[in-house]
Amino acid sequence: MPTKVEILQEYANCLKSPIYTIEKYLETFDKTQNKYVPFNLFVDQKKLVTNLDNANENICMKYRQAGVSTTTAAWSSTKLVFAPKESPEKILILANKLDTAVELATKIKNFLRQYPSWLGVGFDNQKNAARHYRLTNRSEVKAVATSTDALRGYTPTILIFDEAAYIEGGEELWAASMASISTGGKIILISTPNGFDSVYYPVFDQAERNMNNFVITKLVWYLDPRYSENLKWVKTSNIVHYFLNSDEYNINDEVVEADPEKFDALIKDGYKPCSPWLEGMAKKFKYDGRLLSQEIFCSFIGSGDNVISEEIVKKMEEEMVTFPIEKQVGGGLWVWKQPVVGNKYILGADISRGDSEDFTTFSIIDFDNREQVVEYMGKIPPDIAAEIIFKWATLYNAFVVVDITGGMGVATSRKLQELGYNNLYFDGIKGRDRLTFNPKNTDKIPGINFNNKRILIVQAFEEELRNSFVIRSQRIINELRTFVYINGRPDHMKGQHDDCIMAMAMCLYVARTSFASLERVDKQTKAMLDSWVNTSEQTNNNTNGGNNEKSNNYNYSDDSVEYNKSKVPQHIRDNMWLYGVKPRDNNG
């Protein structure tokens, strides 16, 4: 038993440095040795402990098996056990699943059991459950699944979000969490990335841009001594490609470098870190790039179930997105190009009520040049939306398709008809009739039932983006980052939006199914007409002994293509004007 003086000295040392406390008194289970070993923190773990101790707002990005949860639990135990009775620590752990939160609470409890008895701190028998326990110095730990109710009646001094990128609840939960520590306390976000989620990603992104007070601790696998043995660097844009096609690389593509100070320069030069451990993990993940991005590479892009791949989103943002040449309608309408006479334009509109969380949006695309030229986003009622659409559709002479799912778009479509706009898409009408005004269609509701065609529309959208359709809007790029597959269905993450995406997707779907298909029909029909003319010419040449004089079977004029009527079916002859062909008989 140490003397009172020794205890006071040791107590002071522990208060001064949590790193000292952890390394001297705590043990952790080492799976590689299958036993408990002294908790010797490596460099990144020491950095994490220092940040947790010094900053009130912390966010940590980690790879799988980084030991961050264990390190955070160890640090938390030091705060609990050394807290004075007059000012106890109250730790609240939130996770997307209760089991996840309880697991972290259990790690903290196991560390608390390792402290020496001379500290005089034990567990309170009155409250000692796995989900909620108290110490004899009145410090507490509580584990809950995420919900706004979880913060009711409990004011934490330390709030820990475990696997924060997987937490549901969005902005409402985040606002409640920040309010709970507004009078003082610490907040800690720990996670591997999960695409562009609604909680973890925005905080991390803003912290990187110095827009909030969160301190970032980013742990990378190649600085972990457990996983960086035999580390080398490979010049490749895709490490999975290297693993699967290593025979395509030569010795000049590989560099052996173990000095951490040179790692950033290698990364900038296009090198990727590689080790036997990483290759083993890639095999376990079946060389799935998304899982590696999520679990190992600490990358937001490519880590979620995004509908549009990371390469496409990145390329569009870097090469296509530009500032609009002008903004109108209160800054909500962006214009990139003025209308070009003769070009074909399509306007897609996604209508909201005007007072809800969703926005009314529309996009105009140039079908001929395959690019976005106009976009609107705002909260307006359906009838006002119709008036704005009427103005811009008229300006661009655009073919208009409105989403009439849910009823909001019906009011807009009917208003457009009242205003006299006839260039409207009708569901259930095929071919050229869809693009031609027919008074008989006025009893139908113009528009498209989006939900009935959702998969097909999103599929057309994805394929067009993959084939370099030009997106100009940063708003669409932002929505793409939270546009994911949820239970196999393409949708936005909770608390996010996809209104601009939907408007653009309708444009591209109509471009593909109506405009492009009709262009193909036109070309095929004209080719068929040419074959009829050529066949007649050949017959005439043969009849005339091979001379090139024109036959009396058909005539030519300067302003039209003419044809041998006897070879053209009657139903085609009746509609030749659609293809720029002017019929004329021998007496014409």
- Going by C-alpha positions, the residue among 317, 368, 321 that lies closest to residue 342 is 368
How many Å is the maximal CA-CA distance in the chain?
A: 127
Model pLDDT, residue 519: 53
What tokens appear for 110 in the block?
């196991």
What tokens appear for 305 in the block?
């179930």
Name the more confident of 281 and 295: 281
Model pLDDT, residue 500: 94
Which whole number is the average pLDDT over 84-94? 94
Q: Which of 155-159, 279-283, 299-303 is predicted least confidently?
A: 299-303
Tell me the Cα Rg of the chain: 34
Q: Is the pLDDT of residue 56 over 70?
A: yes
Q: Is the pLDDT of residue 587 over 50?
A: no
Give alpha helix (H) positions in 424-549. Answer: 454-466, 474-480, 499-510, 517-543
Model pLDDT, residue 539: 45
**Burial of 230: CB neighbours in 10 Å, binned 0-12, 13-18, 19+:** exposed
Model pLDDT, residue 91: 96
Model pLDDT, residue 147: 74
Strands (DSSP E) found in 283-390: 326-328, 333-335, 345-350, 360-366, 371-378
Per-position b or e across 453-465, b if 16+ CB within 10 A of its CB:
bbeebbbbbbebb
CATH number, domain 314-516, options 3.30.420.240, 3.20.20.70, 3.60.15.10, 3.10.129.10: 3.30.420.240
Alpha-carbon distance of 163 to 190, in angstroms, equals 6
pLDDT band at 192 (very low <50, low <70, confident <90, very high): confident
Residues in the chain: 588
Alpha-carbon distance of 42 to 334, in angstroms, equals 51
Q: Is the pLDDT of residue 11 over 50?
A: yes
Model pLDDT, residue 306: 76
Tens digits of residue pLDDT in 411-451: 999 999 999 998 999 886 554 444 454 555 556 789 998 88
Q: Residues 367, 380: contact at Cβ < 8 Å?
A: no
Q: Is the pLDDT of residue 455 over 50?
A: yes
Name the more confident of 230 and 440: 230
Which whole number is the average pLDDT over 74-88? 95
Tens digits of residue pLDDT in 469-496: 999 999 999 888 888 877 777 888 776 7
Model pLDDT, residue 132: 95
pLDDT band at 530 (very low <50, low <70, confident <90, very high): low
Q: Is the pLDDT of residue 111 over 60?
A: yes
Which whole number is the average pLDDT over 130-137? 95
Which whole number is the average pLDDT over 392-406? 93
CATH no., domain 4-221: 3.40.50.300
Mention every residue, 6+ apart, whose C-beta is less than 8 A from residue 457. 450, 505, 506, 509
Q: Is the pLDDT of residue 554 over 90?
A: no
The per-residue pLDDT of the chain, averaged, comes to: 83
Which whole number is the average pLDDT over 131-150? 88
Q: Is the pLDDT of residue 70 over 90?
A: yes
Q: Is the pLDDT of residue 557 over 50?
A: no
pLDDT band at 578 (very low <50, low <70, confident <90, very high): very low
Which whole number is the average pLDDT over 350-377? 90
- Domains in the chain: boundaries: 4-221, 232-304, 314-516, 517-579
Q: What pTM does this model have?
A: 0.60
Name the more confident of 539 and 201: 201
Which whole number is the average pLDDT over 197-213? 86
Q: How many C-alpha atoms does 240 have within 13 Å on its Cβ side?
A: 15
Alpha-carbon distance of 579 to 569, in angstroms, equals 15
Domains 4-221 and 314-516 equal at CATH topology level: no
Alpha-carbon distance of 216 to 282, in angstroms, equals 27
Model pLDDT, residue 77: 97
Which whole number is the average pLDDT over 550-572? 43
Backbone angles phi, psi at 354, to 5 degrees: 105, -10
Model pLDDT, residue 442: 55
Alpha-carbon distance of 388 to 215, in angstroms, equals 45
Which whole number is the average pLDDT over 241-266? 89
Distances (CA, A) of 317 to 184, 268, 369, 370, 501: 39, 20, 19, 17, 15
